[in-house]
Amino acid sequence: MELKINSYAFGERPQAVLPVPEFLQAIGEEGARKLVSKHYDLLVQSDIKHLFPTDPEELEHAKLRSSDFVIQICGGPQHFNQNRGRPMLSNRHQPFAITPEGRITWLECYRQAILELDIADELIISFWNYVNVFSNWMVNTPSKQTGFVTGFQLPKR
């Protein structure tokens, strides 16, 4: 199974489709918590680890907030709305500098975590399609442009 990462223009907010309800039915709320926990355990070892809590207790809280959201969007109880209020996720990500490259790392960590699930491919793909697309909404910082950009000329002084 190939899980590709889509590429989007900076600022593009593509329409995402929620995962099918069978995904949560297959893994259960406990499985969703484990999945998010695995994702964060990979994130804190990745090249975007500077974005995430280093304090173990804070990390547990972050896992809880994120898994509340995952359970909710997968058709489970509205844990996130109850505990945190309206998601407004791009606003909640504003304090963090999320670049297109950061999104790719974040998705690669998810890809590794979901491929460990012992469920049907189509369910994995359904979850992947959601995060692959919706993650672009969180990108709020352009790439660091190092090196030469083809076709771009500095104005003459």
Which residues in this chain contact ligand HEM in the complex, by CB under 6 A?
A: 48, 51-52, 62, 65-66, 69, 84, 89, 92-93, 96, 98, 102-103, 106, 131, 134-135, 138
Calculate helix-pair angle for 21-43, 121-134, nearest 10 degrees: 60
Tokens 């974005």: give the residue: 51
User: What's the rounded Cα separation, in Å, for the pair 44 and 59?
Assistant: 9
Query: Nearer Cβ to ligand HEM, position 5 or 120?
Result: 5
Least spacing, CB of residue 56 vs ligand HEM, in Å: 13
For ligand HEM, the nearest residue by Cβ is 62
Exposure of 7 by Cβ count < 10 A (0-12 exposed, 13-18 middle, 19+ buried)? exposed
Distance of closest approach, residue 106 Cβ to ligand HEM, in angstroms: 4
Closest CB to ligand HEM among 58 and 152? 58
What is the smallest separation between the CB atom of 151 and ligand HEM, expressed in angstroms?
Answer: 28
For residue 30, give every residue at least 6 positions away whose Cβ sits within 8 Å of its Cβ, in sequence order, or none.
none
Number of residues that make up the chain:
157
Q: Which of 60, 20, 68 is nearest to 40 (CA)?
A: 60
Considering beta carbons, is residue 86 or 156 the nearer one to ligand HEM? Answer: 86
Q: How far is the CB of 30 from ligand HEM (least distance, A)?
A: 18
Min dist. Cβ of residue 126 to ligand HEM (A): 14
Burial group, residue 70, by CB count within 10 angstroms (0-12, 13-18, 19+)? buried
- Closer to ligand HEM at the Cβ: 112 or 156? 112
Nearer to ligand HEM, 66 or 126 (CB): 66
